[in-house]
Structure 1
Amino acid sequence: MRALFGVIRIIAAGVIIAAIVGQFVHSLSYDVPADFFVNFFSFFTILSNAISAVVLLIGAWYCFRVRKDPRWYNLVLACAVTYMGTTGVVYNLLLRNISLDQASTLPWSNEILHLIAPIYLVLVWIITPGKSRLEWRQLWVIIAFPLVWSVYTMIRGAAVGWYPYPFLNPAQPGGYGAVAVYVIAIAGFIGLMGSVVVWLSRTRILRG
């Protein structure tokens, strides 16, 4: 059974990597700015999917080597699940009908990165047996990356005049006040998602 989970993790990681590379190459076919590479990897979607692919490949290695994932890996996987769950919900509620920067989106890649991969990661967390119990204090580890990303995005955006998502751009109606509302709301949602992920790891039925 562990070997089967390992194979599934490899396939899932491969699909995610293919979607990232596909979108990257597709975007390059358009007239892109000089800082395209940095902009591309400044999207939370790209970062969360890239993190997930790496985490899944590491998890696949453990599936073939040991009978149970180590506790540190369980925490890293919890981070990836939280970020991907947030990516899926935020995109499908706020951004699905909005045209984003970085040239035209690639339809199949877009669906994998924003819908299929997030659903897969969340299901993995729910149904995979043998998860280690997370401590509530580890929630701060889970939400650390989104906080750092938010600070980086706002500082770089103010410096170069580019923001990965329209709701983070202070040029919108409401200015920085509107941005603050969105950031607080999304931060709260990430905290909620992380709390659910931790709670699931502590649920006896789902851990068994």
Structure 2
Amino acid sequence: MPSAPLDTFKGRRGFVTIAACLGWFGLAVQLYLILWGRWVDGASLLGGLVRFCSFFTVVTNTLVAVALSCAISERDSAGYRFFRSPAVCAGITTSIVLVSLAYNLLLRHLWTPQGWQWIADELLHDIMPALFVAYWLFFLPKGTVSVRHVLLWTLYPIVYFGYLLLRGNAFGDYLYPFLDIGTLGFVKAMTNALGVLAGFVGIGLIVFLIDRAFGRKAHS
């Protein structure tokens, strides 16, 4: 795979622009659906916003959309450089692949979304993961990721799991059934959490190996 600078790729800007727009669109649709549901039920809209921002899928897709948006911007601030970093994007790739695999293996069978919910569901769990993997694989330099980066990336799901457990203990809402301590018990829920974390590390190591292999090829 090539690892030349992004600007040498014909059609790169168009691809990334479309991907970024789809990412923000999927998030906007999902936010609207949650807030509309809260409105219909007479529940707090602020609570709906907090709930929306609490999903790992939403947080990770937001990182994806931000990274893609930064990639098509000409600004050169520290934040923009951070989200253009190949190592950071490799970590986001690991996270969004986990989102897709966890949803399709553990959650998809639990419901059958329709209409706009189906559109948001497919965008956030299937289309955006595929687009961001393609962005990372074809449009970013390789050879910059180390095992240390993989270890640093694990801080993201670890911190998220900690937040999720604290939130669930406070409100009785764990968001994901395989992490529901109230239903499964602490041991089972933590076993599931560790299993997901192990999956994240496994994906991260695969990303690392791909990065190293393509980096060596580019310099050979």
TM interval, short-chain normalised: 0.7 to 0.9
Q: Larger deviation: 178-187 or 137-146?
A: 137-146
Q: Per the alignment, do residues 204 and 185 of structure 1 end up closer, same or farther by CA in structure 2, a change over 3 Å counting? A: same
Deviation of 1:204 (Å): 3.2
Q: Larger deviation: 17-26 or 164-173?
A: 164-173
- The superposition leaves residues 64-108 of structure 1 with CA deviations (integer Å, 9 ceiling, x where unpaired) of 99xxx97971111011101100000000000002249xxx97111
Q: Given that residues 45 and 113 in structure 1 are in contact (C-alpha distance below 8 angstroms), is that contact kept between their aligned partners in structure 2?
A: yes
Q: Per the alignment, do residues 202 and 14 of structure 1 end up closer, same or farther by CA in structure 2, a change over 3 Å counting? A: same
Q: Does 1:95 align with 2:107?
A: yes
Aligned to 2:14: 7
Structure 1 SS opposite 2:183: coil
Distance (Å, rounded) in 2 between the aligned partners of 1:135 and 1:108: 36
Q: Does 1:123 align with 2:112?
A: no
Identify unmatched segments of 5+ residues in structure 1: none
Aligned to 2:210: 200
Q: Indicate which of 54, 59, 83 corresponds to 2:66.
A: 54
Percentage identity across aligned positions? 25
Structure 1 SS opposite 2:158: helix
Equivalenced residue count is 200
Q: Given that residues 61 and 124 in structure 2 are in contact (C-alpha distance below 8 angstroms), is that contact kept between their aligned partners in structure 1?
A: yes
Aligned to 1:38: 50
Letter paired with 1:20: L
Q: Does 1:77 align with 2:89?
A: yes
Using the size of structure 1 for normalisation, the TM-score is 0.86
Q: Does 1:189 align with 2:199?
A: yes
Letter paired with 1:19: G
Q: Indicate which of 170, 173, 177 corresponds to 1:159.
A: 170
Aligned to 2:5: none
Q: Indicate which of 24, 28, 45 corresponds to 1:21.
A: 28
Deviation of 1:201 (Å): 1.2
Q: Given that residues 150 and 205 in structure 2 are in contact (C-alpha distance below 8 angstroms), is that contact kept between their aligned partners in structure 1?
A: yes
Letter paired with 2:64: S
Q: Does 1:109 align with 2:120?
A: yes
Q: Per the alignment, do residues 44 and 20 of structure 1 end up closer, same or farther by CA in structure 2, a change over 3 Å counting? A: same
Deviation of 1:205 (Å): 6.5
- The superposition leaves residues 3-26 of structure 1 with CA deviations (integer Å, 9 ceiling, x where unpaired) of 621221121011011011011112
Q: Given that residues 59 and 73 in structure 1 are in contact (C-alpha distance below 8 angstroms), is that contact kept between their aligned partners in structure 2?
A: no
Q: Larger deviation: 83-92 or 73-82?
A: 73-82
Q: Indicate which of 180, 188, 196 corresponds to 1:178.
A: 188
Using the size of structure 2 for normalisation, the TM-score is 0.82
Structure 2 SS opposite 1:55: helix
Aligned to 1:139: 150
Structure 2 SS opposite 1:203: helix
Larger helix proportion of the pair: 2
